Amino acid sequence: MKIVTEEYIQHLSNYHYQILYKPELLFDVPFQYQNRIALEFNHLYHWHPLIPDDFRFGGTNYTLKHLLGNPEIVIKHGMASFVDSLSKQIAGRFTVKNHPHFGVKVAKNVIKHGRELRLQSYNNYRKRFNLQPFQSFEQLTGNKKLAKELETLYGDINGVEFYVGLLSEKLRPKAMFSETMMELGSPFSLKGLMSNPLSSPKYWKPSTFGGAVGFDLVNSATLKKLFCQNINGDCPEVSFRVPGFVESQGEADDESFRNCPEHGEL
């Protein structure tokens, strides 16, 4: 949980301050320790556009189909090479028309599920989280072509659905996600980690982890340690951020994203 909080969420949120995992800060206040998740968070977390079309290990390209259920690839190239390659490859962009082939059906089911449950509109969720509702499709997307397509589909900006809005909203500068995604998702992620029973006064103590040595390992855990202490030889590149990568701040080019015309476009 320390790695997820201080490195994973830190990277995704792009917050300009360091997030810390300190369960003891909540020990003196009433707090719910349970294992629950909001349905909207489940919908929000369908990040299939981030999956690249292929992965390159040891000079060989593999599609996701090759990787699923095939751990022999890790053995073939070695864990050090495998981790180093993953740390140096760029993920896809979270946006419309960028779902991998297998992900289109998943996205359709998310939208269908939201309609069956009659989720509120995207603008209503923004208002619920103290964000200004969008006044136009172009304000939502920052992209004239996409704005026209959405206006043709919905007619009114207040009709845009929750998951479609998340996919369509313009990204924050130098960030992986939009304002709404971050303001809804990041606080819930942090609260979910802090409300885990392991974070409670009953369990967050040395005896839960086999004594002081185990507790120290948990408190000092990092992503780099997780891999490098389990790999022989030199430690590979271990990072959520691709070294030297510079994010684009311009308007997205629709043609640069994947299309799945035989299955519809999302």
pLDDT tens readout for residues 113-162: 999 999 999 999 999 999 999 999 999 999 999 999 999 999 999 999 99
Q: How confident is the model at residue 102 (pLDDT cuts 50, 70, 90)?
A: confident
Average per-residue pLDDT for the chain: 89
Phi and psi at 177, nearest 5°, equal: -135, 175
pLDDT tens sequence across 200-238: 999 999 999 999 999 999 999 999 999 999 998 899 999
In the prediction, which pLDDT does 132 show?
A: 97
| Residue 167 pLDDT level (bands cut at 50, 70, 90) | very high
**pTM here?**
0.85
Which class is domain 2-243?
mainly alpha
Residue 21: closest CA among 188, 194, 183, 184:
194
The pLDDT of residue 31? 85
45 band by pLDDT with thresholds 50, 70 and 90 = very high
d(CA 171, CA 252): 10
Q: Give the span between the Cα atoms of 250 and 266, in whole angstroms.
A: 21
Asked whether 14 and 176 are in contact (CB, 8 A), the reply is yes
CB 168 within 8 A of CB 123: no
Measure the CA–CA gap between 109 and 104, rounded to whole angstroms. Answer: 9
pLDDT band at 246; cut points 50, 70, 90: low
Q: Shortest CA distance to 110 belongs to which of 167, 176, 37, 182?
A: 167
What's residue 263's pLDDT?
Answer: 39
What is the domain partition of the chain in residue ranges? 2-243
Query: What are 222-226's contacts with CB under 8 Å, separation 24+?
Result: 222/2, 222/3, 222/6, 222/7, 223/3, 223/7, 223/8, 226/3
Average pLDDT over residues 187-194: 89
For residue 48, say whether it is annotated as part of any ligand binding site: yes
